Amino acid sequence: MVADSQAALIDGLLVPRIADDLAITPRERTLLSYAEKLTTAPSTITRTDVASLRAQGLDDRAIHDACAIIAYFAFVNRIADGLGVEQERDAGSAV
């Protein structure tokens, strides 16, 4: 059962829009929405976005850390894409 719920969670996170019925907490949903907005439209982040994180119990340090991790992930991926780095494949992978 745990494996099934983990697989459902992973599948739910790999789609372009987070489903309303995805088994995540309101805090996780708010963080995911923030991550999506910071990644796809960073210039549109406002105080309201930060306030929504605070409303879910995140303090300044947690908000900073989330922002830094999200931005760093985007940065590293853009460097890899810009240099034409290809994803490594497992030896047993059929892909």
* Nearest-10 Cα torsion for 31, 37, 68, 73: 100
pLDDT (tens digit per residue) in 58-86:
999 999 999 999 999 999 999 999 999 98
The pTM for the full model equals: 0.75
pLDDT of residue 55: 98
Give the CATH fold of the 24-83 domain: AhpD-like (1.20.1290)
Structure-model confidence comparison of residues 7 and 70, the more confident one: 70
The answer on pLDDT for 54 being more than 90 is yes
Contact between residue 12 and residue 22 where contact means Cβ atoms under 8 Å apart? yes
